[in-house]
Amino acid sequence: MNNKIRQEMDKIEIPNELKNRVILGMENAKKEYEKPNQHKPESKTDRKRWSLRKKVILFSSVAVLLLGLLISSAFVSPAMANVISHIPYLGSIFQSESISGLLMN
């Protein structure tokens, strides 16, 4: 820090009661942190690891959900249906005849 700033900070008077409370609070926090068998902040190694099975289930369910949203949005929006009709296998779902052609048959 700059010496002038340090000097200005040293000029500020802090009441003794406030200073004592700060020191007491810091000591209490240190004691609680050092207690064994207490909850300490979690480290990366302490985190619960997901099994491969759970990961596969999660990612496959997300993929099914996204595919469902894609197909359902195509039924709502004609522009989206036009885009999806160019995708192989999905295009056969969205190829349709006009209503008058269906009614006349």
Report if residue 91 sits inside a domain: yes
Answer whether residue 43 is part of any domain: no
Residue 40 lies in a domain: no
For 47, which DSSP code? S
pTM over 0.95: no
92 within some domain: yes
Q: pLDDT tens digits for 10-64?
A: 888 888 888 888 889 988 888 888 776 555 556 666 567 788 999 999 999 999 9
Beta strands in 31-81 (DSSP E): none
Compute the distance between CA of residue 18 and CA of residue 98 in angstroms, rounded to an integer.
82
Establish if 89 belongs to a structural domain: yes
pLDDT for the residue 76: 87
Distance CA 89, CA 23 (A): 71
For 74, the domain range is 61-104
* Number of domains the chain contains: 1
How far apart (Å, rounded) are the C-alpha atoms in residues 74 and 77?
5
Amino acid at 76: V
Examine residue 12 and state whether it is found in any structural domain, yes or no: no
Query: Which DSSP string corresponds to 76-98?
Result: H-HHHHHHHTTSTTTHHHH----
Half-sphere exposure of 64 (CA within 13 A, CB side): 6
In a domain, 47, yes or no: no
Please report whether residue 65 resides in a domain: yes
Would you state the pLDDT for residue 55? 92
Neighbouring C-beta atoms of residue 99, cutoff 10 Å = 8
